[in-house]
Amino acid sequence: MGGRPKKRSLTIAGHRTSVSLEDDFWDALYEMAYAEGRSVPQLIAEIDSRRGQNGLSSAIRSAVLAHFRARPAAREH
> Which domains are present in the chain?
6-75 (1.10.3990.20)
Q: How confident is the model at residue 74 (pLDDT cuts 50, 70, 90)?
A: low
Model-level pTM? 0.84
DSSP secondary-structure letter at 9? E
Q: How high is the pLDDT of residue 13?
A: 80
Is pLDDT at 59 greater than 70 in this prediction? yes
Tell me: the pLDDT tens digits for 17-38? Answer: 999 999 999 999 999 999 999 9
Query: Taking the C-alpha atoms of 46, 52, 58 and 60 in order, what is their torsion angle to the nearest 10 degrees?
Result: -10
